[in-house]
Chain A
Amino acid sequence: MATTKITVDGTEYNIRMKFETLHRAFEIIEGPNSGTAINGRTIRDIIGTRYSYQIDIEPDPADPESYDAFYEMITSPEDSHTVSFPYGQETITFDALIESGNDKYMGIVGSRKRWSGLSIVFKAMEPQR
């Protein structure tokens, strides 16, 4: 388990990202003009390429309030959030939408309510390329 500070909408949250749970995915978006040519070749109507990231989050036991704040942020009814993730040897920042997520209540430990197993997908609002 690694402790990682995650920045969303310019706010840094003291939460932990589970080791080896950062997944990157891409999608080449097709428009309505895709089809097949008379010679059998596919006609692609590429609108662009969209990247998305999935991560599993755990609270820092020493700072459960930061986890709670993060949860409040990601579940707020807003169109999108600005996030940054590793991209190649660099970082990519984009507006991401969050559609759903779930975590599990682990009971009270040390007079603190424990939560675990939060998995989130950050999906780009629009093609990055």
Chain B
Amino acid sequence: MKLYQIIIGEIEEPLFSFMNNEIKECNIESEVDLIGNELTVDTAEFEVVCNDDGIRMTPYATPIRIFNQDVLLGKFYSTEIERIKTNAYKVKSVSAIGILQHETFYGGMYNGKSFDSVMRQIIGSNGLQPYSGYYRKSRMTASRGQAHCLGNELNSSQDNYYPVLSATMKSRVKASFKIIALDRTTLPALVNLLAGYKLYILGCSTANGESDSVVLAHRYGMYLNVKKNTSDTSRAAYGQMVFEYGNQSYNLGIPTDGTTYEVDINPSAGKATINGVDYAITKSTSNNRIPIHAYAGGVQSLTYDSTKQYVRGNPSIQYVEAEYGEYKIFDENGNLQCDAVLVRNEYEDGYCAYDLTNELEENRKNSLTRTLEPNEDITIADGDEHPAFHRQTALEEEILQSVSFADNVSNLNVYGWIKICSKRDAIQTLLISQGVIIRKTEDGELLFAAPIMDEEGTIQDSRIYDGGSVTYPEVVNTIEVTEHGYGNDTTKAVEEVYVNTTGASKPYIAEFKTLPVVEDTLVADNLVVCCHNCNAAVVKGTGKLNGRAYEHSESKIKRILNNLPSGKSISVSDATLVTMQNSEVLLDRLEAYYGFASRIKMAFVAHDEKCGAMYHCKNPYNEEKSAFLVRKTEQVSGIIKADSELITDYDPPEIGEGYQNYVILSGTGTWETPASVYEKEHPRIRVILIGGGSGGAGGFAGEDGAVPSGATSVQAAKGGSAGEGGAGGNIFNLTIDNPATEFNYACGVGGAGGDISTSTEENNPGVDGTDTTFSDGSNSYSSASGERFEKGITNFFTGDIYGKKNTAEINGAGKGGDGGYYVVQNQRSYYTKASWGIGIANILSCSGGNPGEKHYPSDGSPVFLSAGAGGGGAAGQQGGDGTSATSSKSGSGGNGGNAIETPRKATVYNRKYYGYGGFGGCGGGGGGAAGIYVTGSAGVAGHGGYGGHGGDGGDGCIVIYY
């Protein structure tokens, strides 16, 4: 008899355990999609005999492990338990992915972050990162238990006091960083506690915002600091790095960038060793309220880097890393406040998390664990419970601790965007973009790995059931992949992305209306922003958020495999982590799969075969094959029969074949293909030829001012509109396989801007730019073969956009000012001043002209003759002033300003604006109206100013990814 076992709960402390005949039926379904097109949920369903009806109370998502003797058939999480007889229950369970699919991930924008970091973020958080600019852009002071935020850029109008929720550093210390989430009560107490306890390298700090220091350790109630001395003005010490211990200090010399300090603290020996030099330290017990456990010691190190920002605040509360265990928490007067348990979780790659639980307050969860990466910033929040903050569940924590990554997967760079979606969808988006699949370890845990082409075992003939079939691939005509780009277009207007008029006193999640948003552009109007990413924010109160949306560009690459009437098309369009960096590798993968792979359907007697692995076997027609096991439905009986599907003839490209580097070529010259290109399985470069942008059209002239008929209203003479921005240069996007070692290139030049115009109806277009060429001597390529894209093309590495149509004038830039004018109502006249002409691309805005003087009759009667109105301003020139009225004539209007300023060439205005269209020329100012009159006659109206030259288009460039 086979020995089967099902354990519900943890192996060490099972809630229930069932053996052999207690298990009446058990079916397990597992599946892996080799190309990541779907992320399937493995399931296990079984019936057990159980006399303890407490099984019904098994919590949702309790771990379940199913064994066949010593082999783990799968690890699952309970979802449903149904009583089917007096003492029999049906249990349904799913894999970890099945649990995660019900949780929301708020996405993010990624620019080279490692695969494992992104995956951990998806699994263990909701994606809302602390505001990265928090310390750099605000003044932060901290005292025990409170961090006082002043002048936060996101909320300049409010001062808010919060305890520190979490803290970490900007790439300063090699140690991993931890989060302690506390409320108002426990934080000061814990600080007091930890001040007398062991702390390792902790972080950098600027005490009170004055001096930079690196807190190495806290022991025995004293700080152990290395800091840059800026407070001691004596010549000897100033500017040196100083090692402080209690009231002792030692100069370590003037630091230079890259200097590494290695510190080994050894209290029992009464010394600390820094870079091989011993410094005496003495134990103090003044704050030592708890026993000091044995200190393992070990060398800690940090590297000085003057360019990095230091976190500001009191180091005594921000960087803490303590041993886990039970604590008694005292207040600052030494009175016992409560018992607490501090749990510390460490992960292989340096992640760490703490969870402090105050057990005396049962109904109040004042612990909050978050796992942050090194380099993340601090988050603050008030002392209440925050449903808006992601509370890492025990399950997430368990999955986080157990997931593993193949070596060649961990450091894959991730570019692009993840929208707000379920965690399952986010994981699937990540998998398909990188060609990673989910396998299972021997312990049933998630393993992110690439398909491995080596056979991991043999399914012997004697285990393969007679029958089955082979399905050959359907004919595929075309495979198409959409590349996504997310550019930061600085000419694009900031818009309202969130508004709340009702408000809430507690933090809540605000999803942005426009997605995604460039995080650095987010500005809060009255809202308090606790943390955010590009899709959403955790906010409090009433108000709105403004920000600039990313410019989302799409381009498609296609491969034609066949041209048959029955052929189908395969496309991947919604995978927003597919950029130019990885699109071609995805295309290769899809071709390998849809073009060649066959599918075997057969049953075999399962042992320990795992989905995603390759096995040697025979297909139903007795042919030897190497095949990926991709699906199995296991029916447990005396033996396990697995109805399965296996994929043969699938040879995916190596993982990590995407582009890792880029270069931008401008002007003319020769480019040598880097040697690293030829080291890849498929030597290949991606070349984007961007021609010179077209010049912007000239501006329109302003209208002439009006002449009133007596004491009557007139309308303003409108200022001229800006000319339309120039079109971006042609963009030709090509892939060169097996590239030559050398290429000659010549980048196009931006076209000249359009001429001035004295017409309000017609203006002068700009000139097209010239083409960009690229040649290896045998093959020549030109941007002329491409086309224009209004949104241009995005450099996925940097977010810069090239070859974009210039749309600056859409936002109102470049318009000429309206001329001044009069409105007459109820025998009174009202004057509207001439308005400013607006500049474009940083050229000068100028005011409208002033009116002249009114005429006052000498007999003291009411004014009969008004002054001439001022002309509207224009870029570079003010509107003319109106003249004064005389005894017989009203004043004449001033002329509108001429747009004498020409916008700068796009690539001069911003050197990254390669291939941009030129800025449109500015409009002329409207002429000022003549003054109104009751007697006499009208003066002369002002003439409209002429529209100015358009700006020259940006020069072209070549972007090469390799």
Instruction: Please report A residues at the B interface, Cβ cutoff 8 Å.
Output: 30-33, 35-39, 41, 43-48, 126-127, 129
CB-defined contacts of A33 to chain B, threshold 8 Å: 605, 635, 637-641
Residue contact A37 to B465, C-beta cutoff 8 Å: yes
CB-defined contacts of B635 to chain A, threshold 8 Å: 32-33
Residue contact A32 to B639, C-beta cutoff 8 Å: no
Chain B interface size, as a band, is 10 to 19
Residue contact A31 to B464, C-beta cutoff 8 Å: no
A13 CB to nearest chain B CB (Å): 29
Residue contact A35 to B638, C-beta cutoff 8 Å: no
With A35-B466, A37-B463 given, can you name 5 additional A-B contacts, CB distance below 8 Å?
A: A30-B638, A33-B640, A38-B461, A45-B639, A46-B638
B60 CB to nearest chain A CB (Å): 31
The listed residue (A31, A39, A48, A127) touching B639 by CB distance below 8 A is: A31
Residue contact A35 to B465, C-beta cutoff 8 Å: yes
- Distance A39 CA – B460 CA, assembled complex (angstroms): 10
Known: A46-B638, A47-B638. A127 touches B466 (CB 8 A): no
Residue contact B641 to A45, C-beta cutoff 8 Å: yes
* Closest A residue to B641 using CB positions: A33
Known: A33-B605, A38-B620, A127-B1. A43 touches B638 (CB 8 A): no
The listed residue (B605, B618, B620) touching A43 by CB distance below 8 A is: B605
CB-defined contacts of A32 to chain B, threshold 8 Å: 635, 637, 641
* Closest B residue to A41 using CB positions: B462
A31 CB to nearest chain B CB (Å): 3
B938 CB to nearest chain A CB (Å): 105
A117 CB to nearest chain B CB (Å): 36
Mask for B456-489, Cβ within 8 A of A = 1, else 0? 0000011111100000000000000000000000
Instruction: Please report B residues at the A interface, Cβ cutoff 8 Å.
Output: 1, 21, 461-466, 603, 605, 618, 620, 622, 635, 637-641
A34 CB to nearest chain B CB (Å): 8
Interface CB pairs A-B, < 8 A, 7: A33-B641, A37-B465, A37-B466, A41-B461, A43-B639, A45-B638, A48-B638
The listed residue (A31, A38, A41) touching B622 by CB distance below 8 A is: A38
B543 CB to nearest chain A CB (Å): 65
- Distance A127 CA – B20 CA, assembled complex (angstroms): 11
How many A-B contacts at CB < 8 Å in the complex? 58
CB-defined contacts of A30 to chain B, threshold 8 Å: 638
- Distance A39 CA – B635 CA, assembled complex (angstroms): 22
Residue contact B462 to A39, C-beta cutoff 8 Å: yes
CB-defined contacts of A35 to chain B, threshold 8 Å: 465-466, 603, 641
- Distance A32 CA – B641 CA, assembled complex (angstroms): 9
A57 CB to nearest chain B CB (Å): 30
CB-defined contacts of A41 to chain B, threshold 8 Å: 461-462
CB-defined contacts of A46 to chain B, threshold 8 Å: 638-639
CB-defined contacts of B466 to chain A, threshold 8 Å: 35-38
B249 CB to nearest chain A CB (Å): 76
The listed residue (A37, A45, A126) touching B21 by CB distance below 8 A is: A126
CB-defined contacts of B641 to chain A, threshold 8 Å: 32-33, 35, 45
CB-defined contacts of B461 to chain A, threshold 8 Å: 37-39, 41
Nearest 4 interchain pairs by C-beta: A31-B637, A33-B641, A39-B461, A45-B638
CB-defined contacts of A37 to chain B, threshold 8 Å: 461-466
CB-defined contacts of B618 to chain A, threshold 8 Å: 38
- Distance A46 CA – B620 CA, assembled complex (angstroms): 24
A92 CB to nearest chain B CB (Å): 16
CB-defined contacts of A31 to chain B, threshold 8 Å: 637-639
CB-defined contacts of B622 to chain A, threshold 8 Å: 38
- Distance A81 CA – B635 CA, assembled complex (angstroms): 32
CB-defined contacts of B463 to chain A, threshold 8 Å: 37, 43
B321 CB to nearest chain A CB (Å): 54
Residue contact B1 to A48, C-beta cutoff 8 Å: yes
B27 CB to nearest chain A CB (Å): 11
Residue contact A38 to B464, C-beta cutoff 8 Å: yes
A95 CB to nearest chain B CB (Å): 12
- Distance A35 CA – B641 CA, assembled complex (angstroms): 10
A46 CB to nearest chain B CB (Å): 5
